[in-house]
């Protein structure tokens, strides 16, 4: 574990102090921090994924504005972080991960002004925004690749990986992307220019296909963004997660292990207590206790949980993501009972009972620090109603069969305000200035 002394100003804010020999500069005050600590605000953050092209039924060119219109409603639920799927110019496939221009907002969504307005709206609502950063590849319609593919002597040829067949390097036989060669310094400079373009506008990156990009690039990127803002979040999509990725690269990690186990429980293929095994695995394979994990039951790559496992299982699994230690995520539509994975969100057919359940989960997590970073996790095996209850929560139905439950233990008397500085983004003016990847799915 690395540590660093970070200057936090001078004593009492003074620039000088009196001494026996006159006036001398005040001594700086230092704070010792762990180099790999996630941003403080992530400890009780809640993420909301927006699949940008079907979130609303707005016409092409007005989709970012339509998302902004719904931001206050999302914030009212108690959500404090938006993850937007890719918003850059692309090859026309709706997921947006096949990028043709890393510096331009996609025309079908709006323009840069619309994007900045969306981010500002979120910030005004006390929310943070995550940008979906794609570093592994370009679309085959990217101008570099089009030239390199036609011309073996192209100046862009060495910016891509190539197979012996003459086809570009790729994964899983994906036919619409071309892997970049990160050993090429021009590629690295280009991608770091992309970082410089978008990082100042947002609060973090969700890093697509992080497992496919060299560690050295992520370390360079981390140094770059953390120098601008120590609270900038880096979240990796690596399936399954890799403990080494927490060392000088990423703050929060996709927990596909927990996701898979919750699916197994919902299918009836595993006991509910096995969910705790998924949590224990984090430490067992080498993650430090301060690593962050994104907890979800569905996303834009996966079938909706309730479609596969039913409504009752979906309610229980969703509750688990909010009460187990980690960063819970809601995929847009999950909170209203949406059944289509990437279909237009059926806002007019929202299931109010489902929405109410998620609002109560958010409120409960906010009200009880034991459900956040202040809580511990303990296995409790019992047959009695009284012993299975959790503080400030209703007990499950009594059972005569021994059942393993989980319980958080921690501070229970202090209520966090919904405007807590650790769970809400600070006003923009105060911000510091100093395995199923998704490429073609």
Q: What is the token pair recorded at 269?
A: 């293929």
β 376-382/403-409 pair status:
antiparallel
Classify residue 232 by its DSSP letter.
-
**Catalytic sites, residue numbers:** 208, 237
Buried b (16+ CB within 10 A) or exposed e, 191-228: beebbeebbeebbbbbbbbbbbbeeebbeebbeebbee
Angstrom CA distances, 199 to 189, 195, 381, 388, stand at: 15, 6, 47, 46
Q: What is the token pair recorded at 299?
A: 């996303």
Quote the CA–CA distance of 6 and 34 in Å, as a whole number. 10
Return the number of other C-beta atoms located less than 10 Å from residue 124's C-beta. 14
The two most distant CA atoms of the chain are separated, in Å, by 79
Quote the CA–CA distance of 313 and 268 in Å, as a whole number. 10
β 88-90/99-105 pair status:
antiparallel
Quote the CA–CA distance of 261 and 255 in Å, as a whole number. 10
- Give the closest residue to 384 by CA, choosing from 365, 399, 364: 399
Q: What is the token pair recorded at 39?
A: 């941003």
Contacts of 148 (CB under 8 A, 6+ apart): 154, 156, 157, 159, 160
- Give the closest residue to 231 by CA, choosing from 205, 203, 259: 203
């Amino acid at each position: 574990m690395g540590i660093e002394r970070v200057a936090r100003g001078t004593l009492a804010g003074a620039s000088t102090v009196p001494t026996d020999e006159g006036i001398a500069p005040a001594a700086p005050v230092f704070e010792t921090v762990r180099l790999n600590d996630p941003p403080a605000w992530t400890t009780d953050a809640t993420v909301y994924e927006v699949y940008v092209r079907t979130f609303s039924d707005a016409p092409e060119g007005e989709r970012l504005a339509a998302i902004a219109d719904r931001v206050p409603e999302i914030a009212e639920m108690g959500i404090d972080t938006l993850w937007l799927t890719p918003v850059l110019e692309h090859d026309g496939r709706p997921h947006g991960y096949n990028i043709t221009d890393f510096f331009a907002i996609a025309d079908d969504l709006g323009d840069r002004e619309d994007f900045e307005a969306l981010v500002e709206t979120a910030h005004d609502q006390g929310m943070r925004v995550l940008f979906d950063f794609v570093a592994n590849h370009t679309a085959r319609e990217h101008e570099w690749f089009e030239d390199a593919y036609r011309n073996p002597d192209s100046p862009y040829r060495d910016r891509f990986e190539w197979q012996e067949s003459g086809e570009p390097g790729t994964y899983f036989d994906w036919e619409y992307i071309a892997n970049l060669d990160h050993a090429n310094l021009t590629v690295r400079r280009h991608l770091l220019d992309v970082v410089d373009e978008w990082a100042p506008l947002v609060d973090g990156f969700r890093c697509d296909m992080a497992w496919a990009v060299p560690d050295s690039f992520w370390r360079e990127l981390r140094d770059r963004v953390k120098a601008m803002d120590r609270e900038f979040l880096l979240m990796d999509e690596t399936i399954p997660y890799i403990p080494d990725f927490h060392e000088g690269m990423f703050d929060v990690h996709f927990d596909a292990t927990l996701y898979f186990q919750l699916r197994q429980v919902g299918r009836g293929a595993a006991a509910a207590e096995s969910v705790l095994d998924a949590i224990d695995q984090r430490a067992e394979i080498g993650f430090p206790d301060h690593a962050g994990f994104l907890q979800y039951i569905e996303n834009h790559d996966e079938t909706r949980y309730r479609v596969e496992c039913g409504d009752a299982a979906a309610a229980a699994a969703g509750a688990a993501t909010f009460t187990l230690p980690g960063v819970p995520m809601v995929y847009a539509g999950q909170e209203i009972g949406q059944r289509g994975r990437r279909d237009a969100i059926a806002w007019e057919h929202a299931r109010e009972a489902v929405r109410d359940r998620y609002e109560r989960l958010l409120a409960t997590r906010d009200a009880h620090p034991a459900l956040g970073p202040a809580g511990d996790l303990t296995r409790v095996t019992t047959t009695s109603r009284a012993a299975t209850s959790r503080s400030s929560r209703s007990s499950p139905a009594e059972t005569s069969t021994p059942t393993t439950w989980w319980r958080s233990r921690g501070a229970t008397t202090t209520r966090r305000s919904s405007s807590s500085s650790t769970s809400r983004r600070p006003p923009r003016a105060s911000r510091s200035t100093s395995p199923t990847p998704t490429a073609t799915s």
